[in-house]
Structure 1
Amino acid sequence: MRFASKRQTVEAIDEEAGVSLLIMEPEDMWHANNLIAVGDVVNAPAFRKVTMTTTTGSATVKSVRTNLSIKVKSTFFDPLASELKVSGTVVNENEWIAGWDSVALQTLREALSEDRPDAVVAVVMQEGLANICLITDIRTIVKHRIESSIPKKRASSKDTAGGMASFYEKTLSTLRNAVDFSTSRTLLLASPGFVAQDFRAYMQSEASRTADKALQRIAKEAVVVHSSTGHVHSLNEVLKSPEVQKTMRDTRFTTETMLMDQFYDRLRMDDGRAWYGTKPVEKAIAEGAVGRGGGVLLINNALFRSMDVATRKKYVALVDKVKEDGGEARLLSSDHESGQRLDALGGIAAILTYPILDLDEDDEDEEAADVEISAEGTTIL
């Protein structure tokens, strides 16, 4: 997905004018489904059947291409066909409206970014050649191709080793500049022979030499696999291998799954640091307990598609407050197991930075009990 205008940026979106987006690949339909909400106005080309009457009175039906602006009433996304159906009433194009809150803007940023957190990073290499790629569920993006001259076998072993070290240095520098490794993500290193394995050893050596903990983590988590060549087409055989398929399984949702496991562990401990349900979580966030120091808000993305604008705004405000307090807000997909587990808890849960007890007590019930007790002439609380 990308902006229709090359000058457009997320920061410069005009909420009154809206924004024009181009669908570039099937995966973009998933993002469009998350961006378009009930009440939005969508402008898009469409084909309509039109009945035309000739001067002789005969009627013909033909399909014409036209631009429609509709106020969204509902959407339906078919993940298998990557098709999105938007239903609504036709409105005047001049009545364009849009609601770009912080959650929608974050979804848009992820949709526009090639280097998405869920994309698997792969370096397919051989002596003197490396292709740095990003792999999503839909496509493979070649970010960089590195070529380096390596002395032939007739040269001294010292020259060959020096040439490979220079090649590895260039590949590592390009990899770190091209890909965001600020969070843990899957890195595949594939090659014939021992090139990928030696490159990983080079990464580990550099991490130790420079005391670079981030590089140490990248090298430790990298998965080395065999490929027939260092060219991009070898990725096909790499991705089909059982080892890689096991590594990539649920890569997109690994963090979410781990957070849900962490939440359930806390819930079993019953230490007052794990709460679920709208009211308890709202209270915890209002207290600032889901902030800096390990606070995490887990919220199902389906809640942001509510037909009630006030409801959506309420959940957006919760996300904004958690981020403002220095906590982490995670939107879980209802299409995945982690989101389905959260849905069973009401679609919202939180891991607190410090324990709070009795968040699930109903304030109204307490007030009613107070009135009842005082009416009997006993202790007034």
Structure 2
Amino acid sequence: MKLVRKNVDKTGEGSVTLVPEQPEDIWHAYNLIAEGDQVRGSTIRKVQNESSTGSSSSSRVRTTLTISVEAIDFDTQAQMLRVKGRNIEENQFVKMGAYHTIDLEMNRAFTLMKPEWDSIALERIEMACDVTQNADVAAVIMQDGLAHVCLITASMTLVRSKIDMTIPRKRKGFVQQHEKGLTKFYEAVMQGILRHVNFDVVKCILVASPGFVKDQFYEYMFQQAVKTDNKVLIENKSKFMLVHASSGFKHSLKEVLQDPAVIVKMSDTKAAGEVKALENFYTTLQLEPAKAFYGRKHILKAADAQAIETLLISDNLFRCYDVGLFEVFVDLVGSFRDSGCGVQLLSRVLVCLLRLAQFMGVVGLFLFSLLVFLGVCFGAAGGSDHSDFVIRLALFLGDIEERLFFSVICGFSVSV
């Protein structure tokens, strides 16, 4: 993302002009634009022309419009962003108040105006415009006849190429056809890597598959590289890493990113930091469940008691249209950072974070266990019966599911 102009005053009101330079920048634009904002950009409008004789004709003209945003449509597969709203500035082709949809495109500037720029939006602009945040990890998830070439950025996982071929089975009389099919498949995967992976930026290329598919492909690829004197592959051979995966489908990337060896290899990438942060939460939830909490209600109550050490929060929560709830989470993140606590803002599109949605998008690791937290919440004196605290908190939360959750974690029986 290229920042052309930034004009935001002390009150937070102002405008920013940006130029998306790659598909991920469209995703950042989607997260920046909200209903009620104003967007100015170049667009195409169909115009009806009437001649002096009464005949009419239509033509498509390019013009610049400013609209008040009412709807936002983002296609994750095609990486297209459409912003719909009413025209709010005089234009020779479009009447005031008329509806129009602006397609935000790569390498075409647009201006975003907000009545108030919050810290999360400004931080996202800084991150998007930082050239070091480009995709520095690539992954090839494959099985016989199926492969996905992916780029893993700090914000999302992009499937750049899908190779799907039918390979004849290896049986008597068809061995040669089977080998030809495999060779054709491996060649297509290799070309996908060469076409979509920028070796000047990417630090690690993961090749994952069940069985020996990855090993056979790796051997084929570098045999071909030597034969054709492909210096790009030969010079970057050390960046490739073979990893086990259960299948060649995209969801298998989740287990690949959790592999300890992969985390070590990716140790200097931001994507690895996000994976490690979430895995730390799951480990704590399993080994010390009284120190790992999730859900908006629980986290907000714990934040009031200053009981959270590390906060992991999905950026999808900042797209909620409940203004009050939006401001609560913006203030929460700001107060945590001001106090020096750890805050990890996680993208809902990064493949390993699909599980975070199960925890309502926000989780936290406590400084101390639940029993101490109960004492903070209810002002308990030392030596009091902790089971009473659990019951009181469960009743306070009210929800049957939450009562069961607390009773299981603490080992006490709570009537539901």
Q: TM-score, normalised by structure 1?
A: 0.59
Q: Is the Cα contact below 8 Å between 1:238 and 1:244 reproduced in 2?
A: no
Distance 1:270 1:142 in 2: 42
- 1:56 positional shift: 1.0
1:363 maps to which of 392, 396, 400 = 396
Alignment of 1:144-163 (within 5 A): none
Match of 2:286 in 1: 268
- 1:328 positional shift: 1.6
- 1:256 positional shift: 2.3
Q: CA RMSD in A?
A: 4.1
Report the secondary structure of 1:61's partner residue: strand
Is the counterpart of residue 278 in structure 1 residue 296 in structure 2?
yes
Match of 1:67 in 2: 64
Q: Kindly provide the amino acid, as one letter, of the partner of residue 87 in structure 1.
A: K
Q: Is the Cα contact below 8 Å between 1:297 and 1:348 reproduced in 2?
A: yes
- 1:8-56 Cα offsets, whole Å, 9 max, x none, are 48x8788433111112222211111111122211111110101110111
Match of 1:114 in 2: 131
- 1:75 positional shift: 2.0
- 1:214-238 Cα offsets, whole Å, 9 max, x none, are xxxxxxxxxxx9998xxx9716983
Alignment of 1:80-95 (within 5 A): 80-92=77-89
Report the secondary structure of 2:133's partner residue: coil
Distance 2:36 2:197 in 1: 32
- 1:301 positional shift: 1.3
Match of 2:20 in 1: 23
- 1:321 positional shift: 1.6
Distance 1:107 1:141 in 2: 26
Match of 1:238 in 2: 236
- 1:60 positional shift: 0.5
Match of 1:36 in 2: 33
Is the counterpart of residue 348 in structure 1 residue 362 in structure 2?
yes
Is the counterpart of residue 2 in structure 1 residue 2 in structure 2?
yes
**Number of matched residues?**
268
* Change beyond 3 A, Cα 1:187–1:24: closer
* Change beyond 3 A, Cα 1:142–1:266: closer
2:273 maps to which of 246, 252, 255 = 255
Distance 1:236 1:68 in 2: 50
Distance 2:285 2:240 in 1: 35
Match of 1:146 in 2: none
Using the TM superposition, name which of 20-29 and 93-102 deviates more: 93-102
Q: Is the Cα contact below 8 Å between 2:204 and 2:240 reproduced in 1?
A: no
Report the secondary structure of 2:117's partner residue: coil
Distance 1:25 1:253 in 2: 18
Q: Is the Cα contact below 8 Å between 1:253 and 1:338 reproduced in 2?
A: no
Distance 1:348 1:312 in 2: 13
Q: Kindly provide the amino acid, as one letter, of the partner of residue 324 in structure 1.
A: D
Match of 1:130 in 2: none
* Change beyond 3 A, Cα 1:240–1:25: farther
Q: Is the Cα contact below 8 Å between 2:204 and 2:241 reproduced in 1?
A: no
- For structure 2, the residue ranges without an aligned partner over 5 or more in a row are 91-95, 97-111, 139-151, 159-195, 206-221, 245-252, 258-265, 378-392, 400-416
Report the secondary structure of 1:275's partner residue: strand
Q: Is the Cα contact below 8 Å between 1:101 and 1:316 reproduced in 2?
A: yes
Distance 2:49 2:200 in 1: 50
Report the secondary structure of 2:57's partner residue: strand
Distance 1:51 1:323 in 2: 54
Q: Kindly provide the amino acid, as one letter, of the partner of residue 51 in structure 1.
A: Q
Report the secondary structure of 1:115's partner residue: helix
* Change beyond 3 A, Cα 1:244–1:32: farther
- 1:303 positional shift: 0.8
Q: Is the Cα contact below 8 Å between 2:25 and 2:128 reproduced in 1?
A: yes
- For structure 1, the residue ranges without an aligned partner over 5 or more in a row are 122-134, 144-185, 190-224, 367-381
Match of 1:326 in 2: 340
Q: Kindly provide the amino acid, as one letter, of the partner of residue 62 in structure 1.
A: S
Q: TM-score, normalised by structure 2?
A: 0.55
* Change beyond 3 A, Cα 1:23–1:96: closer
Alignment of 1:45-194 (within 5 A): 45-92=42-89, 96-116=113-133, 119=136, 140=198, 187=203
* Change beyond 3 A, Cα 1:87–1:16: same
Distance 1:35 1:270 in 2: 37
- 1:69-115 Cα offsets, whole Å, 9 max, x none, are 22223322223322112223333489953432111111111100001
Distance 1:236 1:313 in 2: 51
Aligned-pair identity in percent equals 29
Match of 2:317 in 1: 303
Distance 1:320 1:362 in 2: 31
* Change beyond 3 A, Cα 1:317–1:71: same
- 1:323 positional shift: 1.0
Distance 1:245 1:70 in 2: 49
Q: Is the Cα contact below 8 Å between 2:291 and 2:368 reproduced in 1?
A: yes
- 1:257-280 Cα offsets, whole Å, 9 max, x none, are 222222122222345211111111
Q: Is the Cα contact below 8 Å between 2:11 and 2:116 reproduced in 1?
A: no
Q: Kindly provide the amino acid, as one letter, of the partner of residue 283 in structure 1.
A: K
Match of 1:168 in 2: none
